[in-house]
Amino acid sequence: MGRFKSMLYRFMYGRYGTDKLGTCLLVAYIVLIFVHSILTIFVESIVFDLVISLISLALAFFIFYRMFSRNIAKRRRENEKFCGFFTLRKNKFKDRKTHVYRKCPQCKAILRLPKAKGKHFVVCPRCKHRFSVRGR
């Protein structure tokens, strides 16, 4: 292993590194820079430049902060939350004809329910709260 590589390796030891959220933030950062460079052709505003620069700076800071973070459990939870959001969207779309998704009013758990007409009662499997669901 080269000297630089081993230094980098030692530096990254015990740190979080990259994940899906990190990759998406990086893509968002690149897109932002790209779109901004195109928009500056049409928009001549210091305020606009400043705002975009601040956003991209904050984004870059957040990307590096997560990468070098030692709080691995917390970063992992962030990533799971992020991935879960998209998985839910995807599933909602996939079985939109057969199922509906409703939030339990008590524990906020998201329930996947088979589609049916009229008013129904549902018991939440997590907190056993009974609530009505209308017009699925």
User: Among 27-35, 47-55, 83-91, 98-106, which window interacts with Zn ion (CB under 5 A)?
Assistant: 98-106
> What is the C-alpha separation between 52 and 38, in angstroms, rounded?
12
Tell the smallest beta-carbon distance from residue 100 to Zn ion (Å).
16
Tell the smallest beta-carbon distance from residue 120 to Zn ion (Å).
16
> What is the C-alpha separation between 68 and 64, in angstroms, rounded?
6
Among 107, 110, 116, 123, which residue sits at the site for Zn ion (rule: CB under 5 A)? 107
- For Zn ion, the closer CB: 17 or 105: 105
Tell the smallest beta-carbon distance from residue 82 to Zn ion (Å).
23
User: According to the binding rule CB under 5 A, does residue 126 interact with Zn ion?
Assistant: yes
Element (H, E) at 32: helix 20-42
Cα separations (Å) of 12 from 18, 63, 73, 131? 11, 15, 16, 49
| Residues in contact with Zn ion by the rule CB under 5 A | 104, 106-107, 109, 124, 126-127, 129
